[in-house]
A and B are shown apart, each in its own frame.
Chain A
Amino acid sequence: MSAVTVIYALMFYAATVMLVAGLAYKIAVYARTPQPLKIPTTPAPTTKAGVAWRMTKEVTVFASLFKSSKWTWLFGWMFHAALLLVLLRHLRYFTEPVWTWVALLQPFGKYAAFAMLAGLLGLWARRIVVDRVRYISSPSDHLMLLLLVMIGASGAAMKFIDSAHTDIVSLKAFILGLMRFDWQPLPTDPVLMIHLGLVIVLMIIFPISKLLHVPGVFFSPTRVMVDNPREKRYVRGWTASAQPASGESAK
């Protein structure tokens, strides 16, 4: 067992723990924090099914973003849709036998890698060129894009540049080994090292960065609350304490 294998194996375990525990903690905090008042941004659905539909549109086609900025929507949606496809394709490294639907997705890899990179570069260009977006950007906002571009570029390099190819079969053995606590050697091609190293960084920063928009979107009260304050009395947090008793004047 080479030192590289041991180091990467340990880093993957650590990163997985941080990602899962960090996200679980954040989700628990969001779920537990009370929302004292009804604040859906109206017009809002008056039923739970309506809210489910509203959220489906937000998460799948970024409906609000579409309304506000066509360029950001175009690049942003392209990036996210491609990212989803890429991640689903990656499931082939984690499953044995590979699920049929994952196998069926494999031919689309080419497009996904380039769409993802194009989307990211478009978003980055906007961040640099548009004075308003440049003003609100911190170093971390640029670095996040850099990180994703580098992950995408190193992945694409492995796929499309002959000299950067890696031994997929051994890599898969390594990953399945990690999952079964039966370590196998990791191929040490430099591009793969970079790809995996950056993925580990991404996993670690996920729960402590703006990537919290992923759980956040499902907890945003202005989007997920039902518009029915008159029909159904709502109390939480401080509004649930010290209620006036019915029929009694608190004068």
Chain B
Amino acid sequence: MADFETPKLQEYPIIPHLKRGVMEHSSPFVAKPDHQASVGFPGELVDNWEAKAVEKLGDIARNNKAFKVFLDSCVKCGACTDKCHYYLGTTDPKNMPVARQDLLRKVYRRYYTFSGKYFPWLVGAEDMTQEVLDDWYSYFHQCSQCRRCSVFCPYGIDTAEISMAAREIMDTVGKGQKYCNEIIGKLHKIGNNLGLPEPALADTLEGLEEDVKDETGVDVRYPLDVKGADVLVITPSADFFAEPHIDGLIGYGKVFHQAGISWTLSSYASEAANFSMFIGSPDNLRKVAMRIRDAALDLGVKRIVVGECGHAWRVAYSFWNTLIGPFDFLDKNYPVPQHIIEVTHGLMQRGALKIDKSANDDRRITFHDSCNVARASRMGNFPGGQFVLPREVIKGVANHYFDMAPETIHENTFCCGGGGGLLTDDLMELRVKGAMPRMQALKRVVEENDVNFLAAICAICKSQFTKTLPYYDFPMDMIGSVHQLVSDAIVLGAKD
């Protein structure tokens, strides 16, 4: 399939010995000048970039507490070293979270700490050089910003924060990543990552209505830009056309239909994902999010609901109120924003949906906790609701459910391997290797419980698994949406 070896899945997880430099060659395509321009960064490496990078680093340290505290506090205890799926899958030591941080920390120490200024050899401080930049570009694009390391660090040091900052510094001096920056540029221009304009979107949704009508005989609507609807649904654009995502979108529509809730999508804000988080760019982060506030005001909705997407939910849940709040123009009886799982869960609890669980009887299901939902957000009104609600929804619509091993789910979940702006073909080797720990846990439940369906609530996870499952000899259509399960079990028109 490709010029690298897919890791072998062992009987039991082992911590590999390190092999230096084995992933040094892995780095994504560099953004072209017009991609850079579209997100407000210089087109190519600027003059005197070393000094500018160092200056930007200091600037972030002065304006971001997490960054500053994390750079100072690490004691090199090593607790995080075996926690990253990219280290476990590649064995490259620079993929150990603390080693990844050190790529940046050594520059911070050199220019901004006493010991690094006067005794660089003692604390491993280094000048900002071309080699350092190359290492940054390579290894800060081998971090999916999944926060698993942060769970296990005694000080909660989150390498994702360091990666975001490093990418921002690189963008600032003119070295951006093509995949992310091109996508953010498209979003600014058209409103979604895929660059689907309004007519194409309208067409797709119309087609969807016909498909559902053919299949069920019921007129389920997939409305676009309907002023005065109660609910604005913001979902990843992959839901509009990609497999298996679209079956999830079909499910959302059926839920609203059954509950009798009027809803709409927006062509102006037709994307839940906010890739600006991956590149740590405040301006882009706010600009992308602002579309959603504008759309909600424009359409005059009362609630905002977010579809199945990991990173999107982090930005929505944790950042929207900060970035584009206050939401005092929305209905205060509902959380803002609300996750589609919370909506469906609430309706199921109230018995507002008629469900035929046997529709999913051919499926033996396990659930992949998407890392950004698991470790960077919440659902419901209690800590850990993000683990409970999706499982209750699945168990409410299906009879056969099995969890993967406890050290690989909930807050310990392994990333799919494609998050954080790495879901691009030029990083295929990294993606396949990074998926290894998740595949290993999956293999256990496949062997022990005959699991044949991997449910997820993240657009990136779904795309990533579709590509990587076959490398590990699993069928690629094993992956699906939670709302695909809901969709298949919901009994339309039979409300009593």
Contacts and interface: CB of A to CB of B under 8 A. Distances in A.
Interface in B93-125: 93, 96, 98-99, 102, 113-115, 121-124
B70 A65 contact: no
Contact of A210 (B15, B68, B76, B298): B76
A42 B336 CA distance: 18
Interface residues of B, number: 79
Nearest to B64: A36
Given A41-B158, A131-B18, A246 B318 contact: no
Interface stretch (A7-15, A110-118, A138-146, A165-173): A138-146
Interface stretch (A82-90, A93-101, A187-195, A232-240): A232-240
A67 B69 CA distance: 22
A235 B326 CA distance: 11
Contacts of A133: 76-78, 81
Interface in B57-77: 61-66, 68-70, 72-77
A136 B81 contact: yes
B122 A143 contact: yes
Contacts of A143: 122
Interface in A28-49: 29-30, 33-39, 41-46
Contact of B96 (A136, A138, A208): A136
Contacts of A135: 18, 93, 96, 99
Contacts of B68: 29-30, 33
B351 interface: no
A65 B374 contact: no
Interface stretch (B145-153, B212-220, B463-471): B145-153
A166 to B, nearest CB: 32
B319 A38 contact: yes
Nearest to A141: B76
B113 A43 contact: no
A244 B290 contact: yes
Contacts of B298: 249, 251
B326 A233 contact: yes
B414 interface: no
B154 A212 contact: no
Interface stretch (A147-155, A156-164, A175-183, A216-224): A216-224
A69 B15 CA distance: 12
A158 B323 CA distance: 60
A138 B69 contact: no
A247 B329 contact: yes
Given A216-B69, A230-B317, A251-B294, A68 B76 contact: no
A239 B326 contact: no
Contacts of A65: 77, 79, 152, 154
Contacts of B328: 246-247
B384 interface: yes
Contact of A39 (B66, B74, B335, B382): B66
A104 interface: no
B322 A76 contact: no
Given A42-B374, A45-B383, A230-B336, A64 B322 contact: no
Contacts of A209: 115
B197 interface: no
Contact of B65 (A34, A58, A62, A67): A34
Interface in A198-222: 208-210, 212-213, 216-217, 219-222
B370 interface: no
B343 interface: no
A197 interface: no
Given A132-B81, A246-B328, A44 B383 contact: yes
A113 B78 CA distance: 25
Given A239-B322, A246-B329, A229 B72 contact: no
**Chain A CB within 10 Å, residue with most, of B65, B113, B325:** B65
B65 A234 contact: no
B99 A38 contact: no
B329 A68 contact: no
B66 A35 contact: yes
A251 B266 CA distance: 14
Q: Pick the most buried of B290, B328, B378: most chain A CB atoms within 10 A of its CB.
A: B378
Given A42-B411, A246-B328, A126 B72 contact: no
A3 interface: no
Given A46-B382, A64-B153, A130 B78 contact: yes
Per CB-CB distance, the 3 closest pairs between chain A and chain B, nearest first, are A216-B73, A68-B152, A222-B156
Interface of B: 15, 17-18, 61-66, 68-70, 72-83, 93, 96, 98-99, 102, 113-115, 121-124, 147, 150-158, 161, 282, 290, 293-294, 297-298, 317-319, 321-326, 328-329, 335-337, 374-378, 381-384, 386-387, 411
15 contacts: A29-B68, A34-B64, A36-B282, A69-B77, A132-B15, A132-B96, A136-B99, A209-B115, A210-B75, A217-B154, A221-B156, A222-B158, A229-B321, A230-B335, A246-B326
Interface of A: 26, 29-30, 33-39, 41-46, 50, 58, 62, 64-65, 67-69, 72, 76, 123, 126-127, 130-133, 135-141, 143, 208-210, 212-213, 216-217, 219-223, 227, 229-230, 233-235, 237-239, 244, 246-247, 249-251
